[in-house]
Amino acid sequence: MAGARALLRHCPLLLPQDRHGTAYEGFVTAQGRDFHIRILLPQDFQLKNARIECSWHLKKILHGYRHILKQRLHSCPDLVSFMVELKTVLEIALKNTQDLHIQRPPEYYSCLVRDLEILGWNKVAFVDTGLTTVKLKAEDSCGRQHLITLKLNAKYPTEPPDCLVDFPVPFAVSWMPQNTLIDIYNQFLAALESLKEFWDALDEIDGKTWVLEPENPTRSATTRRIAIGNNVSVNVEVDPCHPNMLPECYFLGADHAVNPLRTKLNNNMHLWDPEISLLQNLRELLETEFPSRAVLEKSDFAKDCGICYAYRLDGSAPDQVCDDPRCGQPFHQACLYEWLQGLPTSRQSFNVIFGECPYCNK
């Protein structure tokens, strides 16, 4: 209910179309204009698998921002957060669309070229032909490559450019009329260093374990679903501001396999040591070793769905497992939901459906 109220507050013209809360239709408002939009969520409410339909006019405005919106779908924890991000991106896109028709004075170009020369052309990854979009590249102290996209309006440098980055936290620029791109670049570098420990923790997980989801994580992604064993995994949500603290953990798998892990986590929680790495802490708290990339192939522990016989379905891996220890067959939630809906013996209570396993009939 709290989520529905928050969505109504931020987007009063976007309304649910079904009782499950998987379909929304209405309008998103930016700069006093309303744009038609329809959002379809999967049964598991995973935003990364959501489908967004909009008018051709809105699609045209957001065309250059599709990759950013895709990143936000993967990183936002809920629909409210994504709609706030969407409105922000739409505001920027509208402003830049309007700016294209504003004649820029000669001082704009001379000032921009001078700033780029002082900054160094070796730090420039891209400049569009109209000199309105600039992408700068930077390397953090661990050698990771990062990009910052600057959308400049006609009043630059009196007004700052809009900055788009692949960060798990908002990036706000401090700007005065006498500032230059060098000041933004230095603030970008400082922000990279502030996120160093967060990316260190996730890079270690990505390099030493089998991450089932996301398959190709962006730098803004804060979650990792880590394989533990056959059809058993843990989803960890790391706080970018406190990456060395105990993350939120959610286990996926059959009850007989995940209940002992939950018990170990609860019993050993007091042993969490912020002085050692997040991965090492997880190993010690769960008293287990995660499958290693150096020793095992993903096929050694990641089984295909027992219904569609595929591992990936719209980007998702099988995350529902039969509770019978003798079976343990995994399924995609969408496949299982559709299968159980077709069985006359199944029963449904709100958005939860109960029925027999397609493999063992338990």
Closest CA to 249 of 259, 263, 236: 236
pLDDT at residue 1 tops 60: no
The Cα 146–Cα 199 span in angstroms is 12
Q: Which domains does the chain have, with CATH numbers?
A: 1-99 (3.10.110), 106-194 (3.10.110.10), 209-302 (3.10.110.20), 304-361 (3.30.40.10)
Closest CA to 292 of 283, 303, 281: 283
The Cα 73–Cα 221 span in angstroms is 10
> Could you report the per-residue pLDDT of 292-320, keeping only the tens digit for each?
877 666 666 667 788 887 777 766 778 78
> Could you report the per-residue pLDDT of 253-274, keeping only the tens digit for each?
878 888 999 999 999 999 999 9
pLDDT at residue 330 tops 90: no
> Could you report the per-residue pLDDT of 162-200, keeping only the tens digit for each?
899 999 999 989 999 889 999 999 999 999 999 999 999
pLDDT at residue 244 tops 90: yes
State the average pLDDT for the chain. Answer: 86
pLDDT of residue 293: 76
pLDDT of residue 2: 46
Q: Which two tokens stand for residue 332?
A: 């995609």
The predicted model gives 270-292 an average pLDDT of 93
- Cis bond upstream, residue 214 (ω within 30): yes
pTM summary value: 0.67
